[in-house]
Amino acid sequence: MNTKISHNLSYHCKRLQHSVLTITIIAMIVSGCAPEPKEGSQSKAQDATIEVESSLQQASSKQGQIQALNDASPVSYQQAASLVTEERQLTRTKAIDHPAGYRNVSSLEAKSRSMTLLPSNNDKFTSVVQNGNMVAGETPVSTFSIDVDTGSYSTTRKLINQGQLPLKNSVRVEELVNYFSYDYPAPTRENTPFSVTTELAPSPYNQDTQLLQIGIKGYDIAPDKLGVSNLVLLLDVSGSMSSNDKLPLLKQALLMLSQQLSAQDKVSIVVYAGASGVVLDGVAGNDFSAINIALSQLSAQGGTNGSQGIQLAYQIAQKHFIENGSNRVILATDGDFNLGMTDHQQLVDYVASQSKKGIGLSTLGFGLGSGTASYNDHLLEQLSNKANGQYAYIDTLNEARKVLVDQLHATLLTIAHDVKIQIEFNPAVVSEYRLIGYENRMLNRSDFNNDAVDAGEIGAGHTVTALYELRYNDSHQRLVDPLRYAQSQSESVSGAKNTNESRSGQLSTVNEVAFLKLRYKAIGEQASQLITYSISRDQQLTHLHQASDDFRFAAAVAGFGQLLNHNDYVHDTDYTKLITLAESAMGQDHFGYRHEFVQMLKTASVLSQALAPGVNRLNQ
């Protein structure tokens, strides 16, 4: 970093510190007013308010200048950001301790939140466009691809544990819901790789609405019957991977993975930084010593030429290709690719073409908010989506065990691919509906029957959950008024039901809420198969507490994701209600994941009050 930039950074950081210190001192003066202010003290408080507002404006103007120097010295910027956070918290604490000055200081604190400090790194989380409220009479059909990724849940947990809330619309709600396993019944027919179940109960998100849960359960298989695997571990060993939550954690995770493999399996290790190379070339899966030595010798240094590493990894995977086996590249990285094939669409197209040759790709993310790498959540998710794989984020050794040990069979053994869901809502019963999540998995209606269109995969033992919020025609809380002429036409058709001509084929569906269709391709097949399932209003439960533990817990998790995304269609729920709902639906929590979720929910509740503008306490 040159001397001029260094001096500028030092100068602006000191000015920012000075501005914040001014805010704090004045806040202390204001907050120190007596509970019963003397005559004239109100005028003084107003003068102090004006002075604090001026200081806030000065500090705000420094924010852009500091951010401009972020690339030159991320560490110094991070320190400045941390100082602002600490001083704001101190201001709030003083205000709470001195009620007489609370109103002025707290209102200024709310204004200071508009000075949003940007992260001290360039982590990339793509914003999703929320699914809207659909009118069943106009658009009765909803189509999407299933998803079993879990990365969004783990990155959300990491941020919350760091005292941050995710950016609005950056959370993929379906990945939060599908992080958890649900006790759906296993498939009973040998020629069908998964079962389908539905449940219908009142929604906790809005009054006079219903929640429809669709659950898919893949058949399970014993670990010793997984078959033979050809795994290529593609590891990022660039300089940014040096911290303990990156390369050291990755090594431990892969050692746990290697203990699950057999002599028939093949393991290769390809590394990349400024350049790429082969560390292990097709050793036996049970050669723990060779794998351990290879991992122990890895160190973090250099740039991030990930594309070159990917190409080499696929070459090695093809070299050791196992017919009728599981051939997969597992990419582990903390960041973006800044060398080689940096065009992300090229990368996505490349891995998609390799998946057609029978080689899948799963992605594992490490590290977040380090300031030394650009973690690209969106790219890792898209790469796995287009390559018949899964995306997970590893923030703890426990998460590594969950993904690479407990769920290894689901990762390595795909039992159905290109799985699509299409649901047609009955306008005679349903007025409106809304799919919760799956925004980047939406398909066109015509894509459902088009076997050339790619969709998601289901692994052995996987559960997949989708949720729709519905309003019936007799709901008093409809968001969209019915069309005048469509209603007249409907009444005309309804009146015709008494005639002999209309009775045939119509009365049997009058009580149906929706008709569910699934398409999937069996392994090795190019033509899809169809499963259909009707959903009747007779399934409707009267009260939410009558629903299963899985239904209520999934509803709580989905509600959490919607709150984090500031969803426009959630009006009758909050953190307190979701905590109560989740605590009532723990079920058989063998690994403690549900209890961990409740603790995260409670932490997020506190953060939302401390960080979000316009919290209730400020308005009291």
pLDDT in tens, 27-43: 444 444 434 444 454 55
Average pLDDT, stretch 113-132?
A: 61
Residue 122: the pLDDT is 64
pLDDT in tens, 461-477: 899 999 999 999 988 88
DSSP string, 148-193: ---HHHHHHHHHHHTT--PPTT---HHHHHTTS---PPPP-STT-S
pLDDT in tens, 500-511: 434 344 445 678
Residue 383, token pair as written in the block = 């790469």
What one-character DSSP code corresponds to residue 442?
Answer: B
Residue 77: the pLDDT is 34
Q: Please check whether residue 448 is in contact with residue 421, taking contact to mean a CB–CB distance below 8 angstroms.
A: no
pLDDT in tens, 124-142: 778 888 999 999 999 999 9
Average pLDDT, stretch 67-87?
A: 40
Residues with Cβ within 8 Å of 533's Cβ and at least 6 positions away in sequence, in order, are 196, 198, 515, 516, 517, 518
> Which residue, 127, 598, 596, 82, is CA-closest to 369?
82
pLDDT in tens, 393-417: 999 999 999 999 988 888 888 889 9
Instruction: Give the Å distances, CA to CA, from 144 to 167, 175, 200, 324, 380.
Output: 25, 14, 20, 29, 20
Alpha carbon distance 42, 147 (integer Å): 58
pLDDT at 285 over 80: yes
Average pLDDT, stretch 590-616?
A: 84
Band of residue 306 on the pLDDT scale cut at 50, 70, 90: low
Q: Report the predicted TM-score, pTM, of the whole model to 2 decimal places.
A: 0.76
For residue 166, the number of C-alpha atoms closer than 13 Å in the C-beta half-sphere is 28
Orientation of helix 102-112 relative to helix 41-68, angle to 10°: 20
Q: Please check whether residue 365 is in contact with residue 306, taking contact to mean a CB–CB distance below 8 angstroms.
A: no
pLDDT at 496 over 50: no
* Angle (CA) 459 461 464, round 5°: 75
Three-state SS at 393: strand
Domain boundaries along the sequence of the chain: 3-120, 134-221+415-476+513-608, 225-406
High-pLDDT (> 70) share of the chain, %: 71
pLDDT at 45 over 80: no
Band of residue 155 on the pLDDT scale cut at 50, 70, 90: very high
More confident residue, 334 or 253: 253
Phi/psi at 393 (5° precision) = -110, 125
pLDDT at 157 over 70: yes
DSSP string, 294-307: HHHT----S---HH
pLDDT in tens, 368-401: 765 556 788 888 998 998 888 899 999 999 999 9
More confident residue, 432 or 2: 432
Average pLDDT, stretch 554-573?
A: 96
CATH class of 225-406: alpha beta
Residue 169: the pLDDT is 92
